[in-house]
Structure 1
Amino acid sequence: MKTLAKWSVDDYHRMIEAGILRDRRVELLAGEIVEMTPETPIHYSTAKRGVKYLEQLLIGKADVRFNGPVTLLNSEPEPDIAIVRLPESNYNNRHPAPEDIFWILEVAKTSLKKDLDIKAAIYATAEISEYWVLNLAAKHVIVFQSPHNGQYTTHKIIQKGMITPLAFPEIQVSIERLLS
């Protein structure tokens, strides 16, 4: 049985700085450097429209990041959308850490299994209180909440209507707008 070498976030950053990972679309997931799934046009468009919509809803409340890394204990995933604390200048010299993150959204079509299994476990382990997966094939949003011992204890599938994020109870997010 082979044992794979696990990489730390610091190792990963040193590889990036040295140019070893140049021209490679990778992310660090649970200590492993993983090739990112190529984005389909609908994946990219949905994520970009979602960012614009959420920026309107959260103006002055949070920074809405698009395809940017977040630094966790042994991972540095690049979620499609991350809602993080202001001010944006906090991230001039570092990526958002768990204490900066309100919630994360992933857009899934070809990446659904990775988003539901690997990324959900990584985000739950990091105690990210809320994680949404926009399932493009099924046209619904899976909302994960209440992380405990590396897994989310609640999840619900929502096909239409509004979602109220835990961090912003005064905000209503339209499922139809996210999936359009």
Structure 2
Amino acid sequence: MTVTTFKWTIERYHRAIEAGIFDDQPIELLRGDLIVMPPEREPHAYYNTEAADYLRTLLGERAKIRDAKPITLPNNSEPSPDIAIVKPLGEIYLQHHPYPEDIFFLIEFSNSTLSKDLGEKKAIYAEAGIAEYWVVNLKSLQLQVFRDLKHGEYTTELTLTTGNITPLAFPDVFVQVHRLIGFRQI
């Protein structure tokens, strides 16, 4: 017996959303597969909110900070990263979610989804051409930064617990690592 899985296209996924099929379940589309998003626990929600507010202060009008909103990628994916730092294109986003060329960098806060965020999501973001991807590891309280794309893969990985990080798109901005990962154990 051969098992065949149904692969969703972005267009069909959007039609299902408009029809209200997924109203009771938070999901995202990754490589044509529907992925149920686990509920956020308090630390995840806290750090996500604090980091988004901090980045809004640092970047001002230079970028739009989108919390847990979809982005549309060419590899049949429409994930909802915890924070997407995107071009401030205004009403364009009434027509479509940010595309890879609209995205400066992405951040995921990760505890129960750490293997997915460091595996499948990292690969999807790299293949789509997202220049920079950060994972706040809430288990070990560290920031993992992926950048320097080459042939659809990140070639540089930084692991930080202190100091500052400068996003590639904003070389004059210094993000304090402790403002993203906090000081206490979770």
* Fold-level similarity (TM above 0.5): yes
Pairing 1:129–2:140 present: no
Give 5+ residue unaligned stretches, structure 1.
Answer: none
**Match runs of 1:90-109 below 5 Å:** 90-109=92-111
Equivalenced residues, count: 180
Following superposition, the deviation at residue 22 of structure 1 comes to: 1.3
- d(CA) in 1 for partners of 2:66, 2:57: 13
Residue 34 of structure 1: CA displacement? 0.6
Q: Which residue of 2 aligns with 1:80?
A: 82
Structure 2 SS opposite 1:76: coil
* Deviations 1:35-54, CA, capped at 9 Å, x for gaps: 01221110011001000000
Letter in 1 for 2:110: A
Q: Distance in 1 between matches of 2:84 and 2:6?
A: 29
1:39 maps onto 2:43 in alignment? no
Partner of 1:169: 171
The correspondence for 2:153, drawn from 130, 151, 155, is 151
Q: Please give the alpha-carbon distance, in whole angstroms, between the structure 2 residues aligned to 1:131 and 1:37.
A: 21
Identity of aligned residues (%): 46
Q: Which runs of 5+ in 2 are unaligned?
A: none
C-alpha displacement at 1:87, in angstroms?
Answer: 2.9
Consecutive aligned runs of 4 or more in structure 1 exceeding 4 Å deviation: none
Structure 1 Cα separation of the partners of residues 21 and 29 of structure 2: 14
Q: CA deviation at 1:89?
A: 2.3
Whole-angstrom distance in 1 between the partners of 2:161 and 2:181: 9
Match for 2:126: what amino acid? A
* Equivalence for 1:4: 5
TM-score of the two chains, using structure 2 as the length reference: 0.94
Give the AA of the match of 1:11.
R
Deviation string 1:18-41 (CA, Å, 9 cap, x unpaired) is 111111110000110110122111
Q: Is the 8 A contact 1:127 1:148 kept in 2?
A: no
Bigger shift: 168-177 or 90-99? Answer: 90-99
TM-score by length of 1: 0.97
SS in 2 for 1:57: helix
Compute the RMSD of aligned alpha carbons. Answer: 1.0
What SS does structure 1 have at the residue aligned with 2:108?
A: strand
